[in-house]
A and B are shown apart, each in its own frame.
Chain A
Amino acid sequence: MIMDDLFRVKVGLAEMLKGGVIMDVTNAEQARIAEEAGAVAVMALERVPADIRAQGGVARMASIKRIREIMEAVSIPVMAKVRIGHFVEAQILQELGVDFIDESEVLTPADEEHHIDKHQFKVPFVCGARDLGEALRRIGEGAAMIRTKGEAGSGNIVEAVRHLRSVMDAIRRLTVLPKEELMAESKRLGAPYELVCWVAEHGRLPVPNFAAGGIATPADAALCMQLGAEAVFVGSGIFKSEDPARRARAIVKAVTYYNDPKKLLEASEELGEPMRGLDVSRLAKEELLQTRGW
């Protein structure tokens, strides 16, 4: 496991975001609402995932003008998404000075076989994962933060729960395996052996493990935290709801007090209508975003 100064600084920023909420925003006004609500960072986007899903077409890195407008509007870290494998979009965002890059399945992949070699960059990357093998492959490539893929833009928590449980179960399993079984496990997971050994020894991922994809309510956010996530991303769930400012504040509160039902009740009261949401099991296979990347 490479833990040089550069990687420590990248993971360091991810550490600072723990216990917080990272919110998708599409303009300066939304970014200010998010910051005012207590977001620890914002994700600058051209369209939220629910709109990407509805409108179709090729989804690319957001326009520079839009990202810059958001960077100028807030003092908290600003993240932005690049297409899977599109290392030139990443070079451009690093030059722009964004604080974190999300190599994201929400955008249309640029490379169906290879992800970005993230060790080549000074800016940290977050990547999505559905299981431990996928998480460790991304960390092997240099990701400084892992998030569940969930099913972005669905407003349905079921996939994030599936992915979170899958990652956490596999971690727990590794901690009880005898050392001689770890190589076979590494082969089975399709994950680097050194990282498999690291997880077996420490009982956690070597980088922060966040939840994303379908979080729409304070209860959804707290559910992810109780299942072992260390922070949450909320995409369409805030600005596709009836009262975004109030919902944003409530989700922030729910993440801090994820284990406190009294506070969770307070956070869940008088929220207005949530985003409508989709039944993921009725989506056609080609409509799923989570199967992009491997």
Chain B
Amino acid sequence: MRIGVLAVQGDFAAHGRILQQLGVPWCEVRHPEQLREISGLILPGGESTTMLKFLLEEGFWEPLQELARRGGAFFGTCAGAILLAREVTNPRQPSLGFMDISVERNAYGRQINSFVDRVLSPVFGPPPLEMVYIRAPIITRVGPGVEVLAEHGGYPVLVQQGRCVAATFHPELTNDRRVHVRFLQLAEAASAR
């Protein structure tokens, strides 16, 4: 099993450090042909508009769909979650649509409304998940096939559908590895097929 981290822009190095610590083979992905060599892809935090333009201009769109078709696992944090969603608002923008969720960008407001909180997830159990929200989006709708792994303030903030996981916060900016481990199990299943 090999994990790719989309390294266009954003906090991809933070994800890479975690994979390193967990002893998982991984690579930074900057070219579409690299998608053929991985069983899971992490879409990091950053600016979704910047990443989106890059994916469209550098010919990533079809190879990403191909990775999804062959059962690859995806993990998006914040901007990454926006890219995975079916529908994006504030403003409207294209997205990959691998998960049946609707996402509103910058839904908590501007940077002064960014925050850290700790929330117990019924799926992961204690201790609470530490959640760092930076100009975070809100998941405003989840489709029937989507499992909610954690909520905050009445909104889903960590969701899973098939082999895709999306978080509106940044597990990569904490010392809690449980969300990454869950994603790696999905990627493991993908590579075993």
Contacts and interface: CB of A to CB of B under 8 A. Distances in A.
A198 interface: no
Query: Secondary structure of the A side of the interface?
Result: loop
Interface residues of B, number: 35
Contact of B8 (A16, A97, A124, A256): A256
A12 B114 contact: yes
Contacts of A100: 111
Contacts of A260: 30
A19 B12 contact: yes
A35 B12 CA distance: 21
Contact of B50 (A20, A97, A122): A20
Interface stretch (B41-49, B147-155, B182-190): B41-49
A135 B9 CA distance: 24
A35 B53 CA distance: 10
Interface string B39-76: 00000011101100110000000000000000000000
B140 to A, nearest CB: 16
A113 interface: no
Contact of B173 (A15, A36, A39): A15
B9 A256 contact: yes
Most chain B CB within 10 A, of A38, A40, A76, is at: A38
Nearest to A100: B111
Contact of B134 (A13, A252, A255): A13
Most chain B CB within 10 A, of A18, A19, A20, is at: A19
A15 B14 contact: yes
A260 B8 CA distance: 13
Query: Secondary structure of the B side of the interface?
Result: loop
A181 interface: no
Nearest to B169: A12
Contacts of B35: none
B173 A8 contact: yes
B193 interface: no
A44 interface: no
B163 interface: no
A38 to B, nearest CB: 5
Contacts of B112: 94, 97, 122-123
B116 interface: yes
A18 B30 contact: no
Interface in A30-45: 35-36, 38-41
Interface in B74-130: 78-79, 90-91, 105-106, 109-112, 114-116
26 contacts: A9-B116, A12-B114, A12-B132, A15-B14, A15-B45, A16-B10, A16-B45, A17-B46, A18-B13, A18-B46, A19-B9, A19-B12, A19-B46, A20-B9, A20-B50, A35-B49, A38-B49, A38-B54, A40-B9, A40-B47, A75-B105, A77-B47, A77-B111, A98-B111, A122-B112, A256-B9
Please give me the 4 A-B residue pairs with the lowest Cβ-Cβ distance, nearest first: A99-B111, A19-B9, A5-B116, A15-B11
Given A41-B47, A252-B50, 8 more contacts: A8-B116, A13-B135, A15-B11, A15-B45, A99-B135, A123-B111, A256-B7, A256-B30
